[in-house]
Structure 1
Amino acid sequence: MSRTALSEPWTPTRIGWLFQPVSDRGHEKAMVLSVYRDHGVIPKDSRTDNFNRTPENLSNYQLVQPGDLVVNRMKAWQGSLGISEHQGIVSPDYEVLRPTTLEYDRRFLHSLLRSRALIDQYALRSTGIRPSQWRLYWDEMKTIEISLPAAEQQRTIADYLDRETARIDTLIDEQQRLIDMLRERRQALVTRAVCFGVDGAVELRDSGDDLVGLVPQHWTVKSVRHWMESLDGQRIPLSGEERADRRGDFDYYGASGVIDHVDGYLFDEPLVLVSEDGANLLMRSTPISFAAKGRYWVNNHAHVLRPRGEGDVDFWAQRLEALDVTTVVSGATQPKLTAGALMGLRVSAPDDIDEQRQIAAYLAEQTSKIDLLIAESERFVELSRERRAALITAAVTGQIDVQEMA
């Protein structure tokens, strides 16, 4: 690694000289830890977005001590590793590495081993047919060369990074709160429009259904199966290998929207797609319902619905997005919205196609303004994270003299 800014010599070494594999099992009562790309090693129950089920039998889980390096073999090339500050146990699929010496600053090593420069090395040394199957094994990881400054200089660099990354993280947190607020505003706007229309003076009535509540006087309440026709029988899933052999220009939809492009299509009309499975059914961090148009392919992870009669797909995509599906989602490990559960949900909507189109047009105009603000904030967050990663890499590889910048 290049070191242009610092005059003091850095000592070359290898990861394998600093750590050695350990496998201490049989500690079922210890706290379960998990490894995140963005957070390193943390208690698993400290995150609400981890839907991987912890097995009942933890006897094969490995003990981790503070200072141990924990590596997710399958995601090391994405940066999913870190030096633990906690004692606990981790999946047997992880590599647990114990330091052979305590001469080095733990914070410095944590930043170095998670830096872009090292992540690139993990990717080069990972093996597998495709990225989703890549694994980094210790025999390869231990050969990676790194350079380390003296212990005092490590502490100086670590202190500098603590200060600077904290400043960047504060800015990111502020923008993330703004994004969350904008998304809440957007959702409230959509829910109001698709549940009550855009006429603020409309008279409401009791629907007679506790889950539906009040509805405009002239709207109808019916189950989804009476509003929409299911075309799920026409879906065909393609494996990753098949898609790789069939690259093309047609959108390939899954539960989260367009996930690939292939050389053929199954549908040639505007339709509504609804996620069938995935953690997002509960988290709702991205839409679960969207309008698909043109010619496209749909796999078996998204329900395919055609509005009956003259229903507007843009309206119905938003109307179904506003539904609370948490009460009918099944499966703890892999949340699933079955066709029967979806089609049985009761929904209020106007029968008049013109009113559906009016609501859809209003939402297209209003949400586009909010989406622009969200995109600007997300771009700021992306650039800030890139700057953060670049700063860490430059500092831990000696490309900048942090003493001059203190």
Structure 2
Amino acid sequence: MTSAIPIKRLASVTLGKMVQPGSKAASDIYAPYLRAAHVQPQGKVIELPDQRMWFSRFELRALDLRQGDVVVVEGGAGYGRSAVLRDDLPGWGFQNSIVRLRPAVGVADGRYLDYALQDALTDGRIDLVTSTATLPHFTADKVSKFEVPSPALDEQRAIADYLDQETAQIDALVAKQEELIGLLKERRDAAWALGLSRAVEELRPIPLRRVITSIVDGPFGSSLTSAHYSDSGTRVIRLGNIGTNSFRTQDEAYIPDSYAEQLAGHDARPGDVVIAGLGDETWPLGRAAVVPDLGPAIVKADCFRVRPASGVSGEYLAWALSAPQTRSQVALLARGSTRKRINTSVARAIEIPVPSLERQESILKATEGVLYRIDTLITKAGEHIALAKERRAALITAAVTGQFDVRTARKAE
């Protein structure tokens, strides 16, 4: 097995520049810069709208970006992600959320270094060296000292060539499955929207406040933090538990029963509906789910507990609130520039059609079969993606750590 050596022996390591919003000299240059958001999992660099800052001429030369450079995310949620640049980025610099590795000529291949870092991130070795007191940071100093396997340059290139070919095939498979999921979600939303449209044709939508007995938000601020959590006790319903018309049982959290008694006004019972007061691109704002039997439970901040009035099914309420048209309505009512948010007053004003209990049940029955079949296909596609990503990670590990000879493997193909 190839011995590991510090990255600083394979490449120069440079931290980017703190954002400078104003010029300091007449010769300064207002230039686009690479930032952490550009670097995505599996070694991808994505295009984003340009953001610019001021660089001195010297800084822009020192912080240039060339083909073969490896860019590593220094801190935050994406710390440790890496990607190799496949093309020069003329006129660009990079922010201090990025650490640049410039492979030493005749010593290292940037593609190989990127794969080695991807492997280290997957197996947790980068986690072991990052500071997690607040936000984790894979600092330039830690990157410099971080050790990766270091075969001869010709072997690095052979490994990178092999992995470029194999991972491209896997990535293409994943892309097709993701495209399929997108199409299936469109079909599901179309069927869902049709079901709600039929209810709207029969009855004029009314504000949510007219079909519930109460709505409460979870306790804010210091009233309920992770410091209050315990191994057992009263269940805490958090945003991650609210799916789109489904309750996600994972991500369990509890507080002691004795403390829950002080927060009794935020309780949630089986059959109640919980609404997400915060959303993003993955999980839409205003999505709702029926609370299952969790035992004693309360809601956390930004999770609104709604108690349906008599004559309203919790299942129908969650279904109607999560429907595509209702999601669009909520998006128009939302505020916030990054993550969209609503409060309980806005939630009370959301309008949905509410027919008789019998009609509610028939509407749900008419759509649940179609939605279930589509959701099953989405789940299967998601499983294929997960397996493909596992194979990708395992293949990178095996190649980088020398578990097989890539040149022999390519001939065997």
TM-score bucket (shorter structure):
0.7 to 0.9
**Are the equivalent residues in 1 in contact too, given 2:4–2:148 (CA < 8 A)?**
yes
1:330 corresponds to = 335
1:107 corresponds to = 111
Distance between the aligned counterparts of 1:64 and 1:334, measured in 2? 33
1:340-381 CA deviation, whole Å, 9 max, x = no partner? 33322332231x112112323444444333222222211111
The alignment covers a number of residue pairs equal to 366
One of 373, 385, 396 as aligned partner of 2:377: 373
- Structure 1 residue 122: deviation in Å? 0.8
2:185 corresponds to = 183
Distance between the aligned counterparts of 1:216 and 1:374, measured in 2? 30
Amino acid at match of 2:273: V
**Are the equivalent residues in 2 in contact too, given 1:78–1:119 (CA < 8 A)?**
no
- Structure 1 residue 44: deviation in Å? 2.9
1:36 lines up with 2:40 in the alignment: yes
**Are the equivalent residues in 2 in contact too, given 1:37–1:79 (CA < 8 A)?**
no
2:136 corresponds to = 134
Amino acid at match of 2:405: D
- Structure 1 residue 119: deviation in Å? 5.1
2:252 corresponds to = 260
**Are the equivalent residues in 2 in contact too, given 1:116–1:390 (CA < 8 A)?**
no
Distance between the aligned counterparts of 2:227 and 2:351, measured in 1? 39
- Structure 1 residue 315: deviation in Å? 0.7
| Structural mapping, 1:140-289, within 5 Å | 140-197=142-199, 215-217=200-202, 219-233=203-217, 235=219, 238-243=224-229, 245=230, 247-248=232-233, 250-254=235-239, 257=242, 259-263=251-255, 264=257, 266-280=267-281, 284=283, 288-289=287-288
Distance between the aligned counterparts of 2:234 and 2:348, measured in 1? 31
For residue 290 of structure 1, give the secondary structure of its aligned residue in structure 2.
strand
Q: Which runs of 5+ in 2 are unaligned?
A: 21-28, 243-247, 261-266
1:310 corresponds to = 311
Distance between the aligned counterparts of 2:43 and 2:301, measured in 1? 33
Amino acid at match of 1:277: L
- Structure 1 residue 238: deviation in Å? 2.6
Higher helix share: 2
- Structure 1 residue 23: deviation in Å? 4.1
TM-score in terms of structure 1 length: 0.78
2:362 corresponds to = 358
1:201 corresponds to = none
1:16-62 CA deviation, whole Å, 9 max, x = no partner? 2223234456554214442222444433339xxxxxxx7x8667999
**Are the equivalent residues in 2 in contact too, given 1:230–1:305 (CA < 8 A)?**
yes
Counting aligned pairs with the same residue, the percent is: 23
Distance between the aligned counterparts of 1:233 and 1:177, measured in 2? 37
Q: From the superposition, tell whether residues 247 and 390 of structure 1 become closer, same or farther in structure 2 (CA, over 3 Å).
A: same
Amino acid at match of 1:115: D
**Are the equivalent residues in 2 in contact too, given 1:14–1:142 (CA < 8 A)?**
yes
1:238-275 CA deviation, whole Å, 9 max, x = no partner? 322222x3544735222652543214462224222221
Distance between the aligned counterparts of 1:157 and 1:252, measured in 2? 47
**Are the equivalent residues in 2 in contact too, given 1:227–1:307 (CA < 8 A)?**
yes
How large is the Cα RMSD of the aligned pairs? Answer: 3.2
Q: From the superposition, tell whether residues 58 and 189 of structure 1 become closer, same or farther in structure 2 (CA, over 3 Å).
A: farther
**Are the equivalent residues in 2 in contact too, given 1:194–1:315 (CA < 8 A)?**
no
- Structure 1 residue 311: deviation in Å? 0.7
TM-score in terms of structure 2 length: 0.77
- Structure 1 residue 165: deviation in Å? 1.1
Q: From the superposition, tell whether residues 165 and 233 of structure 1 become closer, same or farther in structure 2 (CA, over 3 Å).
A: closer
More divergent stretch after superposition (223-232 vs 155-164): 223-232
One of 10, 15, 20 as aligned partner of 2:7: 15
**Are the equivalent residues in 1 in contact too, given 2:69–2:101 (CA < 8 A)?**
yes
Amino acid at match of 1:260: E
Q: Which runs of 5+ in 1 are unaligned?
A: 4-9, 47-53, 198-214
Distance between the aligned counterparts of 2:71 and 2:31, measured in 1? 19
1:65 corresponds to = 65
Q: From the superposition, tell whether residues 83 and 344 of structure 1 become closer, same or farther in structure 2 (CA, over 3 Å).
A: same
Distance between the aligned counterparts of 2:126 and 2:39, measured in 1? 16
